[in-house]
Chains A and B, each alone.
Chain A
Amino acid sequence: MTAAFFILAALTVAGTAAAMGLRNAVHCVLALTVGFAGVAALYLQLGAQFVGLTQIMVYVGAVAILAVFAIMMTHKPGEDQPRIFSSHWVVGGVVAAAVFSVLAWAISSSGTANQFPPPEPSVTVLAIGDSLMHTYVLPLELMGLLLTAALIGAVVIAMDRREETK
């Protein structure tokens, strides 16, 4: 529990809170990106280099760009969206409190979370790569196949649309 943790945690919470509260959809995505970056920095602080850097690469570099592209293609630029908050905020609050209490109970009753001092992480990028290429090579290949199929499917759908507009 250092100062760095509190700064990063505050940044993450502020970013994600702003993502829910801002009116402009693009602003929301940018605020969410701050949240993503904060989570990545927290991973890095915990010594999980691979997860942290992948989080930045995938979420900040790809998902955020994808989200802004989606927004820009569906909305007219410069148009603020009306608030979409539900009026039943009491129900929402109860659900949020319930989820939080379940999570807090699960974490506090878990054995690994309460070790003090926390054990030093021993998993390096090399170890992750080794286990991906040796132990888990078949699941990895299957994932690759699945993603390739999804990619080809997306291309096929995009091509069909161009045929229609012609």
Chain B
Amino acid sequence: MTQMLDQIFVTAKLWLMGYIPAAAKPLASAILSVVPVLIAFPLLFAITTWLERKGLGRIQNRLGPNRTGPFGLLQPIADAIKSLTKEDIVPLRADHAVHFLAPVLLVLASFLGYAVLPIGRNMVIVNLDAGVLYFFAAGSVVELAVFMAGWSSRSKYSLLGAMRAIAQMISYEVPLVLASVVVIMQAGSLSTVAIVEKQTGYTGIFPHWFVFTPWGFVGFALFMIAATAESNRSPFDLPEGESEIIAGYYIEYSGFKFALFFLGEYLGMFATSGMAITLFLGGWTAPVSFLTWIPSYIWFFAKLVTLIAVFIWIRGTLPRLRMDQLMNLAWEFILPMALLNMLVAGVWHFMPSGILRWLVCTAIVATPCVLFSARLKRKKRLQVRTYIFAD
């Protein structure tokens, strides 16, 4: 029974494949794997917009959406209809072709990463040998889409927003990749499926997730900070800072194209959260050994929703960083910590298991962490910034 519920989608796909002629099988198999992902994650996006507005409302002592449906649950549908029926305004001097292609490319690139995310036992679209590498390669295409949007709008605000977004994404891509290298070192594989399988065991009732080791914990923290910056979310939302440059690179977009940017941004956030789950939080495995009877995909989505809730909580709590703080954080704190963490992963690998290993590894990461953060807090002399290319 448990087994059946766990594999219900896999069995359903196999059953459907039985009715398809052999010639069409490769194509049909791809479609049957891709379409559920294309439905599930935009649906999650719709729920998240509602959850985010309700959560932020709660944090800010407001009610949030409460007019459409019970608890405002139908708000995403109302939003979708509104953005579909809005007039699509393109600036007169905009570069029309690039302006049109930017949101398309953004959503496309955001969807690509899902191909290697194992959302349940035996539930991954492709089990690539170089899955993690593929994920980051797909993520790097997003930068180009952001640039296209900012440049083609022919607006100062768009261009400034795109510049900020690209500077931020490039700076934080390095720690994002370096933070995940420790997991690759320990798992000995770039395949996401193999990485999850390494974390399936239990000691007593506790799982063997990578986050429960010194290097895994540090890696997870760094990965999540970098992921927040990669997805341009508060407190790293400088590219769209509403009070400074209105909405950044997508200010000249309206109607459904604007909704596509919104969708792309959230899909990116879900994908990096999904990657964090795969790398550090044991993917689809249960958090305690006596709950393994709950289907694997439910665990994946439960973890995903938890991470989303943390993102919303952070957005409601922390103020936006300044540009120099953003860059200093990346280059003076996260990057050295990520490099050090790789050393710790090596030490962990070669030391015999026991309490000494824990103490040594924790000491190696904790001491510099304190030192680096003290360095970040120093007072800095600041000068007026000039943007030479957007006067």
Contacts and interface: CB of A to CB of B under 8 A. Distances in A.
B154 A56 contact: no
Contacts of A54: 133, 137
Given A61-B140, A64-B144, A73 B129 contact: no
Interface in A138-156: none
A132 interface: no
Contact of A61 (B93, B98, B137, B159): B137
A53 B137 contact: yes
A53 B147 contact: no
Nearest to B170: A65
Contact of A30 (B133, B141, B148): B148
Nearest to A27: B98
A65 B389 contact: no
Contact of B141 (A24, A26, A56, A69): A56
B151 to A, nearest CB: 6
B154 A65 contact: no
B221 interface: no
Contact of A26 (B151, B190, B389): B151
Interface class of chain A by DSSP: helix
Contact of A65 (B98, B128, B143): B143
A50 B133 contact: yes
A50 B128 CA distance: 11
Contacts of A57: 133, 136-137, 140
Nearest to A57: B137
Nearest to A128: B130
A30 B140 contact: no
Interface string B134-171: 10111011011001100100100001000000100010
B141 A125 contact: no
A77 B137 contact: no
Contacts of A90: none
Q: Is the interface on chain B under 10, 10 to 19, 20 to 34, or 35 or more residues? A: 20 to 34
A78 B166 CA distance: 20
Contact of A62 (B130, B140, B388): B140
A60 interface: yes
Interface in B261-288: none
Contacts of A65: 143-144, 147, 166, 170
Nearest to B112: A56
A49 B98 contact: no
B41 to A, nearest CB: 22
Nearest to B136: A57
A61 B159 CA distance: 18
B389 A61 contact: no
A25 B154 CA distance: 15
A39 to B, nearest CB: 13
A7 interface: no
A30 B98 contact: yes
B140 A56 contact: yes
Interface in A40-74: 49-50, 53-54, 56-57, 60-62, 64-65, 68-69, 72-73
Nearest to A124: B129
A57 B141 CA distance: 8
A68 B148 CA distance: 10
A33 interface: yes
Given A26-B151, A30-B98, A125 B130 contact: yes
Interface in B76-122: 93, 95, 98
Nearest to A56: B137
A64 B148 CA distance: 11
A132 B388 CA distance: 42
A126 interface: yes
B359 to A, nearest CB: 29
18 contacts: A24-B95, A26-B151, A49-B129, A49-B130, A49-B133, A53-B134, A54-B137, A56-B138, A56-B141, A57-B140, A68-B151, A72-B151, A73-B388, A77-B151, A78-B93, A125-B129, A125-B130, A126-B129
> Sorted from nearest, which 10 A-B pairs have the closest CB atoms?
A61-B140, A56-B137, A57-B137, A53-B137, A125-B130, A49-B130, A53-B133, A125-B129, A73-B389, A57-B140
Given A30-B144, A33-B144, A68-B147, 16 more contacts: A24-B95, A27-B98, A49-B128, A50-B130, A57-B140, A60-B137, A60-B140, A61-B137, A64-B144, A65-B143, A65-B166, A65-B170, A69-B166, A73-B389, A125-B190, A126-B129
